[in-house]
Amino acid sequence: MGKRVGMEVAIAAAEAAALCKFDVASVYPITPQSHVAEHLADIVNDGRVDASFITVESEHSALSSAMGASATGARVVTATSSQGLLYMGEVMPITSSMRLPIVMLIANRAISGPINIWNDHSDIMPMRDTGWISFFAENGQEVVDMTIQAFRVGEDRRVMLPVNVNMDGFQLPHMVEPIFFPDQEEVDRFLPEYVPYATLHPDRPVSMGTLGMPEIYAEAQKAKDVAVVNSIKVVKEVWKEWEKLFGRKYEPIQSYRTRDADVALVTMGSMGETAEIAVDALRKQGVKAGLLKIKLWRPFPFAELKKAVKGIRVLAVTDRACSFGGPGGPVCSEIRSALYEESVRPAIVNYLIGLGGRDVQAEDFMEMVRRAAKGKLSEPYEFYGVRG
Amino acid sequence: MNTAMNHPKSIIENFDLYAPKLVSKEEFFSPGHRACQGCGEALAIRLMCKALGKDTVITNATGCMEVISSLYPTTAWTLPWIHVAFPNAAAVGSGVEAGLTALRRKGKIADRRVKSVAIGGDGGTMDIGFQALSGAMERGHDMLYVCFDNEAYMNTGIQRSSGTPFLASTSTAPAGKKIPGNQVWKKNMAEIMVAHNLPYVATASPSYPLDFMKKVKKARRIKGPSYIHCLVTCPTGWRSASETCIKLGRLSLETGIFPLYEVEDGKYRLTVEVPEKRRPVQDYVKGQGRFRHLTPDQIQVIQERVDIEWETLMIKVNCSKSREELRAVREK
């Protein structure tokens, strides 16, 4: 069994990729992802993993060269954040359409306007519909575990999709946390060698990325949707196996003290741990609070959500990005639509919190629960604690 | 005794005998694709593939060539081929090289060299793909990039690019009543690549097929980044007759507008002789609708620029030394 070490999470993420013995890393530096990039380079240049590190000139080229390498049959890792992820935006849906199981480590950061390097989810949300599988880690341990799981899920012949592992910028990558690392042998057993379906090689020439006319484009989109939807089975299967091997449980939606909960918070990412503290404090005060933590953002776990909200009167959904002029935050609009056809469903309120690194403390979550108890806010969604 | 040299006619009569010695009979860019009649680019790609041979992976930028060759479920390519997007052929190609190199080193694929070759049009190379190309070349990947320059965004309807010649009429720089076409001079892409200190840079044209293929073979052999800038006729965009495709390529050389040269290890060399008395620019522009509006004065302005550029190139051809030669001088 592996060992427990104190390590900066960005470095730990790169170490997790190293345990997966990637063949190619293609990364462009950006705050707060840079330590991931730097440590991947250290690993390659120290010869700890036999791989090529491409020092690309932009994020667009990072994902493009990652695609080229992946198309030859290599196991490829990349990493980015914020503007970098948006810059990759053109290439994101092509990666999933070509079914290239690249793993991307994302240190989530607010997108510009005004420029801001701190954490929220406004970078990954515009990428929601690009056909990638999206994991959301809550702490350093989950970053490491999910990175290894991401290769296994993405490369599964039933899936063959790229996977991004989201870690809240600064809150996770820049923290030193105690982390259990599995042994190399354990990872080797869990993650078999990647066997690509088709590769760019003259021994068996193929054409990749061909032109799809209207007669075939829609079918291609449907095929991708079916693949993403069906991948949830493999994600759950892999997470079960992980639990059996390493004792750490992963679920698409993780419930915390919701069995008899009246009001439940919903979080995604690192704020889950702060929200847990708030729930515990509220429980001490006699408030029946609970918490749902979303770990799998795409494919969205509809069935698991429906099960998890049973008996809950009010859901206080927190979002860390805004859909301007839309229905509120993207997480909330997803949950509302997921529960629309349920005959018994909770009332839903939506708080937009932690934008651009704005601190959210346990007391804030407690206040959100107290106010949500009414089942309604004065506005369809509220920028919690925001002036103006 | 070389019969072909003494009896040039016999080359045509015995074509099947001589041609295979000059060029591979194998087709890697198959007939049946949807390129226009007289498309210089499709012809050049066919020749390039013959020169590259089987152990090649092609990365294609978005553009006419991807459209005409890869309509699902058909493909014109018998070489492994990938198309991702418009601006990133060089980046994808660099990833192909990195992937193949890593997998070969690790024994996961056959232990033989497979060359990564990225191709794009003038827009995909000189404009939107410029940054990715500069990055890929600067990083020193063992790859070849070939720009097929037909001097405008032909795939989207003949819009002006930085490869468009001065005063040419395009759909976004039309010959209007006030402004007579494109107002700036063509970007010299080959020189920009020379400035990247590449081991090999060349200009080429399918009108000189043997010269072009020789350059492709040379670039293929180089272990490192190389760049070929290939000027190709687009009858649709140039508003020229399909059957003048080859002739226009020859005129571009004979007028000195597009000389064929190579820069190896920093040393310039003309690869196809240009007539001592270069033909006037007028001969090149007259068969092309995109230059139809030019006045004699405007043609004279172009002529002067071509003359100066020609002389500049000649200075480089006559005076440049390879890095190896420069090293030898220092050692003395």
Q: Closest residue of B to A217, CA-based?
A: B72
Sign of the CA dihedral running B230, B236, B237, B242? positive
Domain ranges of chain B: 3-331
Q: How far is B200 from chain A (nearest CA, A)?
A: 22
Question: Tell me, what's the ipTM?
Answer: 0.97
CB atoms A202 and B102 under 8 Å: no
Residue labelled with tokens 């092509």? A94
Specify whether the CB–CB gap between A20 and A187 falls below 8 A: yes
pLDDT digits (tens, 9 = 90+) for A134-187: 999 999 999 999 999 999 999 999 999 999 999 999 999 999 999 999 999 999
Closest CA to B84 of A208, A292, A196, A171: A208
What does the alpha-carbon distance between residue A229 and residue A249 come to, in Å, rounded to a whole number?
Answer: 22
What distance, in Å, lies between the first and last C-alpha atoms of chain A? 53
Q: Dig out the tokens for B131 from the structure.
A: 């940054």
pLDDT digits (tens, 9 = 90+) for A11-69: 999 999 999 999 999 999 999 999 999 999 999 999 999 999 999 999 999 999 999 99
Specify whether the CB–CB gap between A296 and A252 falls below 8 A: yes
Mean pLDDT to the nearest integer, B201-207: 98
Instruction: Write the CA distances from A281 to A271, A318, B95, B131, B228, integer angstroms.
Output: 16, 19, 52, 54, 69
Residues forming CATH 3.40.50.970 domain(s) in chain A: 3-246
CB contact, 8 Å: B155 with chain A? no
Q: Which residues contact B332 (CB under 8 A, 6 or more apart)?
A: none
CB contact, 8 Å: B81 with chain A? yes
What does the alpha-carbon distance between residue A195 and residue B17 come to, in Å, rounded to a whole number?
Answer: 45
Q: Which residues contact A115 (CB under 8 A, 6 or more apart)?
A: none
Query: CATH code for B3-331?
Result: 3.40.50.970
CB contact, 8 Å: B131 with chain A? yes
When pLDDT is cut at 50, 70 and 90, the band that residue B7 belongs to is low
Identify the pLDDT of residue B267.
98
Whether the ω angle into residue A32 lies within 30 degrees of 0, i.e. cis, is yes
| Per-residue burial over B161-186, b = 16 or more CB atoms within 10 Å of its CB, e = otherwise | bbbbbebbbbeebbbeeeebbbeeeb
| Angle CA B124–B126–B129, to nearest 5 | 45
Q: What is the pTM of this model?
A: 0.96
Identify the pLDDT of residue B21.
79
Q: How many CB atoms lie within 10 A of CB A129?
A: 10
Q: Which residues contact A133 (CB under 8 A, 6 or more apart)?
A: A150, A153, A154, A159, A161, A162, A163, A164, A228, A231, A235, A296, A298, A299
What is the edge-to-edge ordering of all strands in the sheet holding A163-168? A52-54, A24-26, A76-80, A103-108, A163-168, A133-136, A296-298
**Chain B contacts of A102, Cβ < 8 Å?**
none
Interface of B with A in 86-105 (CB under 8 A): 87-88, 90-103, 105
Closest CA to A229 of A181, A293, A317, A298: A298
CB atoms A60 and B108 under 8 Å: no
When pLDDT is cut at 50, 70 and 90, the band that residue A3 belongs to is confident
| Angle CA B324–B329–B330, to nearest 5 | 95
pLDDT digits (tens, 9 = 90+) for A193-248: 999 999 999 999 999 999 999 999 999 999 999 999 999 999 999 999 999 999 99
Among B88, B106, B112, B145, the residue to mutate for chain A (most A Cβ within 10 A): B88
Residues forming CATH 3.40.50.920 domain(s) in chain A: 253-383
Q: Dig out the tokens for A125 from the structure.
A: 């949300």
Please name the helix (run of DSSP H) or strand (run of DSSP E) that holds residue B69, with its range, or none.
helix B64-69
What does the alpha-carbon distance between residue A363 and residue A328 come to, in Å, rounded to a whole number?
Answer: 23
Q: Dig out the tokens for B119 from the structure.
A: 């191709």
**Chain A contacts of B91, Cβ < 8 Å?**
56, 60-61, 64-65, 68
Please name the helix (run of DSSP H) or strand (run of DSSP E) that holds residue B57, with its range, or none.
strand B56-60
Average model confidence (pLDDT) across chain B: 95
Please name the helix (run of DSSP H) or strand (run of DSSP E) that holds residue B297, with its range, or none.
helix B296-319
- Give me the DSSP letters along A82-105: HHHHHHGGGTHHHHHHTT---EEE
CB contact, 8 Å: B271 with chain A? no
What does the alpha-carbon distance between residue B120 and residue B91 come to, in Å, rounded to a whole number?
Answer: 12
Mean pLDDT to the nearest integer, B25-33: 94
**Chain A contacts of B87, Cβ < 8 Å?**
60, 90
Of chain A, the percentage scoring pLDDT greater than 70 comes to: 100
pLDDT digits (tens, 9 = 90+) for A275-290: 999 999 999 999 999 9
AA identity, residue A218: A
What does the alpha-carbon distance between residue A316 and residue A271 come to, in Å, rounded to a whole number?
Answer: 14
Mean pLDDT to the nearest integer, A359-373: 98
Identify the pLDDT of residue B15.
74
User: pLDDT at residue B1 above 50?
Assistant: no
Mean pLDDT to the nearest integer, A300-308: 98
A3-246: which CATH number, 3.20.10.10, 3.40.50.970, 3.40.50.720, 3.40.50.300? 3.40.50.970
Identify the pLDDT of residue A249.
98
Instruction: Write the CA distances from A139 to A5, A174, A245, A352, B251, integer angstroms.
Output: 14, 11, 20, 21, 67
CB atoms B75 and A207 under 8 Å: yes
**Chain B contacts of A55, Cβ < 8 Å?**
139
Closest CA to B57 of B125, B106, B21, B109: B109
Identify the pLDDT of residue A50.
98
Average model confidence (pLDDT) across chain A: 97
User: pLDDT at residue A361 above 80?
Assistant: yes
Specify whether the CB–CB gap between A215 and A50 falls below 8 A: no
Closest CA to A293 of A148, A128, A136: A136
Nearest-by-Cβ selection for B100 from A50, A60, A72: A72
Specify whether the CB–CB gap between A199 and B52 falls below 8 A: no
When pLDDT is cut at 50, 70 and 90, the band that residue B13 belongs to is confident
- Give me the DSSP letters along B111-167: SS--EEEEEEEHIIIIITTHHHHHHHHHTT-SEEEEEEE-SSBTTTTSB--TTSPTT
**Chain B contacts of A72, Cβ < 8 Å?**
57, 95-96, 99-100, 103, 109
**Chain B contacts of A212, Cβ < 8 Å?**
72
Please name the helix (run of DSSP H) or strand (run of DSSP E) that holds residue A163, with its range, or none.
strand A163-168
What does the alpha-carbon distance between residue A75 and residue A104 come to, in Å, rounded to a whole number?
Answer: 12
Identify the pLDDT of residue A1.
58
What does the alpha-carbon distance between residue B276 and residue B287 come to, in Å, rounded to a whole number?
Answer: 23
3-class secondary structure, B311: helix
| Angle CA A299–A302–A303, to nearest 5 | 120
User: pLDDT at residue A265 above 60?
Assistant: yes
AA identity, residue B94: S
Sign of the CA dihedral running A157, A90, B189, B273? positive
**Chain A contacts of B90, Cβ < 8 Å?**
61
Of chain B, the percentage scoring pLDDT greater than 90 comes to: 91
CB atoms B131 and A65 under 8 Å: no
- Please say whether the structural domain A253-383 has been given the CATH code 3.40.50.1000: no
